[in-house]
Amino acid sequence: MGTAIKKGKLHVVTLTVNGEEHAVLVKANTTLLDLLREEFDYTGTKKGCELGDCGACTVLMDDRPVNSCLVLAVEADGHSFTTIEGVEQGGKLDRLQEEFINQAAVQCGYCSPGMILSGKALLMRNPHPTEREVREAIGGNLCRCTGYVRIVKAILAAAEANS
């Protein structure tokens, strides 16, 4: 883990987001969520509760899902992040994104970025999860529209495509 350098009231933070390296000045109380949304305009990272309850702000921190509202920007120093904007590669959707579309797992879409990133983290560490494992992996991501039925199907379908 890197150490943020203090400059007056501000701290220098170096981090990688979606493959791009950034050095930014942040306040001690700036969250990673606000840094991503306000500084880098990665607004796909959603703000739902700011208390770590809803999972709408999930991003991958060194390939592990975290609630970006609970990570301070200074803690992001030296780490690598993937937001939903970094999942599509060269104009080609990730299989998981395709399955979210095919299975009609998207309704209002506010939870979708976090769901997809939690699903992606699961498939990276466990390419062939059981349904129970899928449900556990998205247990921290609330959805109010779908009852999770099609989200679970989409993640399982993407896993199926892995084999």
Partner 1 sequence: MSEATTKEFSVIGKSVPKIDARDKVTGRAKYTGDLKVTGMLIGKILRSPHAHARILSIDTSKAEQLPGVEAVITAKDVPATFYGISPARYDETILAIEKVLQVGDKVAAVAAVDEETAVKALGLIDVEYEVLPAVLDPLRAMDEDQPQIHPQYERNISVEIHQDFGDVEMAFQQSHLVRTDRFQGNRATHVPMEPHAAISKWENGKLTIWSSTQSPHYFQYHIARVFGLKMGDVRVIKPTVGGGFGGKLEPSAAEYVSAALAMKTGRPVKIVFDRKEVFFHNRGRHAQHIELTTGVTKEGKILGVHGKYIIDGGSYTSLGIASAYYAGAMLPLIYEFDHFKFDCFRVHTNLPSCAAQRGHGAPQPRFAFESQLDMIAKELGMDPIEIRKVNARRPNTMTLNDLKVNSCEFMACLEKAREISGWVGKKGKLPPGQGIGIGCGGFITGAGYPIYRTRLPHAAAIVKVSEQGDIATLYIGAVDIGQGSDTILAQMAAEAIGINYEDMRIVSADTETTPHDFGAYASRQTLMSGHAVKQAGEEVRRQIIELAAELLEASVADLDIDRRVIFVKGSPEKMLPFETVANEFFIRKGPLMGKGSYTPPKLGGKFKGAAVGTSPAYSFAAQISQVEVDEETGQVMVTNVWDVHDCGTVINPNLLHAQVEGALFMGMGEAMYEQVVFDDKGRPLNANLGEYRVPTALDVPQVISELVDSYEPAGPWGVKEVGEGATLPTMGSYANAIYDAIGVRLYDLPLTPEKVWRAIHERKKPS
With a CB cutoff of 8 Å and minimum separation 6, the contacts of 30 are 72, 73, 74
Largest Cα–Cα separation, the chain = 53
Interaction between residue 106 and partner 1 (CB under 8 A): yes
159 touches partner 1 by CB under 8 A: no
Closest distance to partner 1 from the beta carbon of 33 (Å): 12
Beta carbon nearer to partner 1, 1 or 51: 51
CB of 115 to partner 1, least distance (A): 9
- List the one residue from 19, 53, 62, 126 that touches partner 1 (CB under 8 A): 53
Which amino acid makes up residue 155?
I
- Asked if residue 67 binds partner 1 (CB under 8 A), the reply is no
81 binds partner 1 (CB under 8 A): no
* Contact set for partner 1, span 108-147 (CB under 8 A): 108-113, 116, 134-136, 138-147
Residues in contact with partner 1 by the rule CB under 8 A: 29, 37, 42-51, 53-54, 56, 83-85, 87-88, 93, 97, 100-104, 106-113, 116, 134-136, 138-152
